[in-house]
Structure 1
Amino acid sequence: MRKPTVVTSILLSVAVLAACGSGDEDPTVDDGTDVGTATDGAGSAELTELTVGVIPVVDVAPLYLGVQEGIFEEHGLELNLQTSGQGAAAIVPGVVSGEFDIGFGNAAALITAHSQGFDLPVIAPGSSSTGIDGEDYVGVFVSAESDIGEVADLAGRSVAVNTLNSFQDAGVREAVDMSGGDGSSVEFVEVPFPEMLAALEEGHVDAIAQNEPFLTMTQEAGAQLVSSYLVDIAPDTPFLVAPYFTSAELRESDPATVEAFAAAVRESAAFATENQDAVREVLGTYTEISPEIAEAVILPQYLEEVAPAQMEFLIAFTERQGLVEEPVEIASLLPGE
């Protein structure tokens, strides 16, 4: 099996690790090992193997569907899917070092890495907010007894987020500012998604910023939604949460393989959008959520293209929120734009 050339291993700076966040292993992962291939091995000698770093969340369901439906095999690819509960904190360094050929991670962390000089071009679309207030797959919740009734009331309160210095705390802070509150006065506490509900119920924090599938679990426990914060801050263009990216070296040395991956992702995203029942079913193959929760979760938008307007908004957003050290040009993130 031919293995494409990957970026030469280098030592990552502490700054990249800090900017891209941290987190504990997510118990929704089945086993944390190789969780997907595109072939049973019969014709694998003709396929190009790619190691892809992913997060076990609803956002990557199209990738698993694409493997299951043979879409990646049709494009000449075999995927070795490696899961990480740490998200961009592990996946961005993994792509830079060559551990992963391709990564999936939150766009804000990716822009932060670019501002620090790491060339990691976006090669395929991922997921975005639904753009529907009250029906997004991320949101801020408070207990049923809380006196917090709207997002502006979060000023001066504590909010749990999975990762600091990411779209979560930056997004909540911006939503508070836009509503007339003081976003700088919000205290953010890093708490893994699975532990957030307990932290809220035990009074350790005043609010929690949840993502699916934990958002549905939180709602079913009786917590109240106070903000679909990504919709609040990006009402006109759905907020790009996470795309797929690679190293500049791989993109330049093997553009055909990179384009094949991008084409397969686009096809898989279209399939997922048209087959929502299949999306909910495949969630059980790489997470441990129940069929009942899988049926109830709010799914993100699965994108077939990354719109330059979405990336331009994100660059401006990260600059406003102080997540970048140096200005980032859209051409470095979306080559050809």
Structure 2
Amino acid sequence: MTRKLSRRALALGLAASLGLAGCGSGGGTSETTAPTAPGGNGLEKTTIKVGALPIPDPVSLYIANAKGFFKEEGLTVEPVTITGGAAALPQIESGALDISQTNYVSTFLAVSTGKKIKIVADMYQAAPNTFNILVPKDSPIKTVADLKGKTVLVNNLRNIATLAVTSQLKAAGLTETDVKFAEKPFPEMGNAIKSGQADAGWITEPFITANQNALGFRSIADTMTGPTADLSIAGWMATEGWAKENPKTLAAFQRAIAKAQALASGDRKEIEAMLPTYTKIDAKTASAITLGAYPSTLDAARLQKVADLMLEYKYIPQAIDAKSIIATSAG
């Protein structure tokens, strides 16, 4: 069934730093579950500012607010629109934000430079066809191997985009030096490729649907397969200091978010209803796009997979133990 993305959604000028931004079950190892006991009293802070991108990834923040999950915990959460997880790091360090969305590649990169960050809750995990390599319908490029010598657009260099594409290049017998990566915001990729500025693009939703419907683009690869299958994409971060100073507030946030994540995982209609309220994705598009998964728990094994891939492709100079950056629950 063909669906056209509205001009409003096509103009979505925000996803340039998707850490982007879905979830699924992790393999039963080393799991930190959000606390289950309710507790709205005795919070160190009753009002917190939380940074989020206007994209599908952090939908549970808005679900939790709309359903009163934060209120049940005695917590008032004020969402603040950010431009990217990496860009939000100075804001949580300065105290302008208490908690913020982050993508895991940016997080591990920051930790490798000595930043004291803790992941406090999971947010979004890749699912099939949520991060694809697209080409024009009449392009001679049929497979990843055909990308040799070509220019591939990504939203950010040396981040989840290039990591995902590089993993597919390796499977095709190529390396990252066999292609030229160039940066371009997601909303601009389609027209840039169509005009000949590049040969292909690493694209996520809602822009996959937009470019397929409006420009007839086709996918040559789902980049979340093989070593990147079900890859953890984004989560919620705080500084190590904030997490230590506000354990009860943190636990309240974790409980409410876990409840909203479970709701999002169990009922796509909840996501579809919420997206038009804080993004430029209209209701018709929200019902058509492919979504990732929304985990209710932090699984260290899933996060370790990201860190190990980054080490393999030399994004970080030495191994990082994912468990070391997960905030422990206050109970």
TM-score bracket for this pair, using the shorter chain length:
0.7 to 0.9
Residue 176 of structure 1: how far off its partner (Å): 0.7
**Aligned 1:1-337 pairs, distance under 5 A:** 27=13, 48-85=46-83, 87-130=84-127, 132=128, 136-221=129-214, 222-235=216-229, 238-335=230-327
- Could you tell me which runs of 5 or more consecutive residues in structure 1 were left unpaired when the two chains were aligned: 1-24, 30-42
CA separation of 1:208/1:108 partners in 2, compared to 1, >3 Å: closer, same or farther?
A: same
Residue 111 of structure 1: how far off its partner (Å): 0.3
Misfit runs of 4+, over 4 Å: none
Q: Is the 8 A contact 1:157 1:186 kept in 2?
A: yes
**Separation of aligned partners in 2, 1:244 and 1:104:** 5
Q: SS in structure 2 opposite 1:159?
A: strand
CA separation of 1:125/1:318 partners in 2, compared to 1, >3 Å: closer, same or farther?
A: same
User: How large is the Cα RMSD of the aligned pairs?
Assistant: 2.3
Residue 325 of structure 1: how far off its partner (Å): 3.6
| Number of positions where the alignment pairs a residue of Structure 1 with one of Structure 2 | 293
**Separation of aligned partners in 1, 2:148 and 2:90:** 34
Residue 115 of structure 1: how far off its partner (Å): 0.4
> Residue by residue, what CA displacement relative to the aligned partner does 1:43-64 show, whole Å, maximum 9, x if unpaired?
9xx9711111111111111111
Structure with more relative contact order (C-alpha pairs < 8 Å, separation 6 or more)? 2
Residue 227 of structure 1: how far off its partner (Å): 1.2
Residue 336 of structure 1: how far off its partner (Å): 5.5
Residue 26 of structure 1: how far off its partner (Å): 5.5
Identity %: 27
Q: SS in structure 2 opposite 1:296?
A: coil
Q: Is the 8 A contact 2:308 2:319 kept in 1?
A: no
**Separation of aligned partners in 2, 1:212 and 1:192:** 13
Residue 233 of structure 1: how far off its partner (Å): 2.9
**Separation of aligned partners in 1, 2:156 and 2:107:** 14
Letter in 1 for 2:305: F
> Residue by residue, what CA displacement relative to the aligned partner does 1:124-160 show, whole Å, maximum 9, x if unpaired?
0110011x3xxx2211100111111112222221111
Letter in 1 for 2:50: V
Q: SS in structure 2 opposite 1:230?
A: coil
> Residue by residue, what CA displacement relative to the aligned partner does 1:98-124 show, whole Å, maximum 9, x if unpaired?
221111111001000000001111110
Residue 76 of structure 1: how far off its partner (Å): 1.7
Letter in 2 for 1:256: K
- Could you tell me which runs of 5 or more consecutive residues in structure 2 were left unpaired when the two chains were aligned: 1-10, 16-39
Q: SS in structure 2 opposite 1:79?
A: strand
